[in-house]
Amino acid sequence: MADKTFTDANFKSDVLDSSTPVVVDFWAPWCGPCKIVSPTIEELAKDYEGKVAVGKLNVDENPQTAGEYGVMSIPTVMVFKDGKPVKVTVGAQGKDAYKRMIDETVAS
């Protein structure tokens, strides 16, 4: 499992108020591509441990946050820095694409 499970209730404290960048995987249990991406997200959580927080937000259980960020298709992966989404990708991507998003965010 990724570092954290984000919810409507903890999103502000765990993502928006985080002092480090945060990767959020917007997903749902019925989503086939989400299941494909899940192991990659877990690998990223291990790879970036201590540098970047990585977690998942179930869009079915947390529609408020998904709606606020305009998540219309899943998987959507967003990288937040200083309380704002700075990188977004929609659809299943390879690990290199996610690493590039994270590395560019950390470097900026």
Our answer to whether residue 52 is catalytic in this structure is: no
Determine which one of 15, 24, 31, 57 is catalytic: 31
List, in order of start, the domains of the chain with CATH numbers.
4-107 (3.40.30.10)
Cβ neighbours, 10 Å, residue 76: 22
Query: For residues 97 and 103, what is the distance between their CA atoms, to the nearest angstrom?
Result: 10
Our answer to whether residue 34 is catalytic in this structure is: yes
- pLDDT of 23-73, one tens digit each? 999 999 999 999 999 999 999 999 999 999 999 999 999 999 999 999 999
23, 29, 77 from 80: Cα distances, Å? 6, 23, 10
Average pLDDT over residues 90-100: 96
Q: Give yes or no for residue 1 having a pLDDT over 50.
A: no
Determine which one of 22, 34, 52, 74 is catalytic: 34
Q: pTM value?
A: 0.95
